[in-house]
Amino acid sequence: MSFNYILGQLINGIKLGSIYAIIAIGYSMVYGILRLINFAHGDLLTVGVYTMLVLMGFSGLPIWLVILAGCIVSIMVGMTMERLVYRPLRGSGEETTLISSLAVSVFLQNLISMIFTPQKKAFHLPDFLTVNHSLGPVSLSTINILTMISIVVILIALTLLLKKTKIGMAMRACSDNLAASQLMGIKINNVVVVAFVIGSGLAALTGVMLAGEYKTIEPLMGFVPGLKAFCAAVLGGIGSLNGAVLGGFIIGIAEVLFAGLMPSDITPYRDAFIFFLLIVVLLVKPNGILGSSEGGRS
């Protein structure tokens, strides 16, 4: 096990971690405001990717336009589900909204498999995105580099949004205390819609990264990354932006290192390991690493 091997694994971990981190941001934003674990969040990723697949059938469209359109469709689906399902249920208990998000997730998965059949489909990004660059001991494709750059850009942009703008201030107020901010005249619906828009757009964006990584897509591809991103959000401290990113990196790196460095009998347990980690974190430090201390989790 050479130094280069470990370095390569570490880079892989960061690659995967940034994907989890971007999904976790969306999870964390919605959860912070509504206390809703949106299981359908991972499926928004699938919706975005399938839209891109359809649009890539029309040759001649530039790839950035395809990705943008995928994000827009995903955002629209996200807004629709907020309006039709989550808004009527707001304030009705955490389990109820949890189940409704589960039902939405099942709905989206089956809708996609009804339209596109449940078989795996090939997903080819243009060559300039998948070409490998060798940087010293490791080789990375363009899309990997873009992924890592985008997480930095997204983190800076969202931090600025939350700290400097009016809507960002409203979002922070809402995640602090929803009822009180309503009394202060903040339009909660707008805040929630903005959270869903950001979350869905980012989910579709990670869809490109995941599909570019695995080269195939299927209707259920979003669910497990979604769950892991939730683990990441909880680990880092749900409701906190930096926490989501930190958690994403920890989960991604832990998963890759677990698969790469452990003896081969226990590597199939990597998913189990992530969830075990989640349970331990929930028990030992229920508010996560960077989470604010707020009671009621354990």
Partner 1 sequence: MKYRENAAVRFVCFVLLPLLILIYSAINRGHYYSDLICLFGIHLILATSLNLVNGFSGMFSMGHAAFMAVGAYTSALLTISETQKARISGLPEWFQKFTLPFPLALLCAGLVAALLALLIGFPVLRLKSHYLSVATLGLIVIVRAFLDNEDQFTNGARGITGLPSYSTIFSVFLTGLILLYIMYRLIRCSSYGRGLIAMRDDDVAAQTLGVRIVTKKISIFCLSAFAAGIGGALWGHLQTVISGQFFYFTDSFEIVEMSIIGGMYSLSGGIVGALVMTFLPEILAPLETGIMIGGFQLPELYGASNLIMAVFLILLIIFRRQGILGDSEIIVESIFSKSTYTGIFKAETYRKLVDITKAKLTGKKKEKTAK
Nearer to partner 1, 6 or 85 (CB): 85
Please report how close the Cβ of residue 153 comes to partner 1 at its closest, in angstroms.
30
Site residues, partner 1 (CB under 8 A): 37, 85, 88-89, 92, 94-96, 98-100, 102-104, 106-107, 109-111, 113-114, 117-118, 223, 227, 230, 234, 265, 268-269, 271-272, 274-276, 278-279, 282-283, 286, 296-298
Nearer to partner 1, 61 or 271 (CB): 271
Residue 109 has φ and ψ, to the nearest 5°, of -60, -45
Give dist(CA 266, CA 198) in Å, integer: 37
Please report how close the Cβ of residue 177 comes to partner 1 at its closest, in angstroms.
19
Please report how close the Cβ of residue 126 comes to partner 1 at its closest, in angstroms.
30
Nearer to partner 1, 127 or 265 (CB): 265
Give dist(CA 39, CA 43) in Å, integer: 8
Give dist(CA 77, CA 135) in Å, integer: 39
Nearer to partner 1, 91 or 126 (CB): 91
What tokens does 73 get? 């469709």
Nearer to partner 1, 79 or 98 (CB): 98
Residue pair 121/217 in contact by the 8 Å Cβ criterion: yes
Please report how close the Cβ of residue 70 comes to partner 1 at its closest, in angstroms.
22
For strand 216-217 and strand 121-122, is the pairing parallel, antiparallel, or unpaired? antiparallel
Give dist(CA 195, CA 203) in Å, integer: 12
DSSP assigned state of 298: -
CA atoms within 13 A on the CB side of 50: 24
Please report how close the Cβ of residue 99 comes to partner 1 at its closest, in angstroms.
6
Nearer to partner 1, 68 or 98 (CB): 98
Name beta bridge partners: 216.
Answer: 122
Q: How many residues does the chain have?
A: 298
Please report how close the Cβ of residue 32 comes to partner 1 at its closest, in angstroms.
14
